[in-house]
Amino acid sequence: MPRNFYTRPTLVVAKDLLGKFIIRKWRGQNIVGKIVETEAYIGPRDKASHAYSERDAHSSLAYKGKITSRNKAEYLVGGHIYIYLVYGMYWQFNISTSFEGRPECVLIRALEPVDKEETGFCCASRARCHSEGVSPKNLKEILRSAQDDMRKRLFIPNGPGKLCNYLKVDKSFYGEDLTKSKKVRLEDSGEKIKKSDIISAKRIGIDYAQEWASKLWRFYIKDNLFVSKR
Partner DNA sequence: GTACAGATTGAG
Partner DNA sequence: TCAATCTGTACT
Q: Is the distance from CB of 15 to CB of 219 less than 8 angstroms?
A: yes
- For residues 135 to 174, the per-residue mask of contacts with DNA, x marking binding by CB under 7 A and - elsewhere, is ----------------xx-x-x--xxxxx-----------
Contact segment (CB under 7 A) with DNA among 18-26, 28-36, 80-88, 186-194 equals 80-88
Does 111 sit near DNA (CB under 7 A)? no
> 171: which residues sit within 8 A by CB, 6+ positions away?
83, 85, 91
Among 86, 140, 144, 149, binds DNA (CB under 7 A): 86
Among 57, 85, 143, 225, binds DNA (CB under 7 A): 85
- For residues 16 to 45, the per-residue mask of contacts with DNA, x marking binding by CB under 7 A and - elsewhere, is -----------------------x-x----
CB of 185 to DNA, least distance (A): 20
CA distance 218 to 230: 12
- Please, where are the H alpha helices in the chain? 3-6, 10-16, 124-132, 139-150, 160-167
* Through-space distance between the first and last CA atoms of the chain, rounded to whole angstroms: 30
Element (H, E) at 220: strand 218-221
- What number of chain residues touch DNA (CB under 7 A)? 38
> 32: which residues sit within 8 A by CB, 6+ positions away?
21, 22, 23, 24, 113, 114, 115, 116, 121
Does 80 sit near DNA (CB under 7 A)? no
CA distance 49 to 41: 6
The alpha carbon of 131 is separated from its chain's Cα centroid by a whole number of angstroms, namely: 29
Contact segment (CB under 7 A) with DNA among 17-25, 78-86, 122-130, 177-185 equals 78-86
Does 48 sit near DNA (CB under 7 A)? yes
Task: Give the interface with DNA as residue ranges (CB under 7 A).
Answer: 39, 41, 48-50, 53, 66, 68-71, 74, 84-90, 92, 94, 105, 107, 151-152, 154, 156, 159-163, 203-206, 208, 228
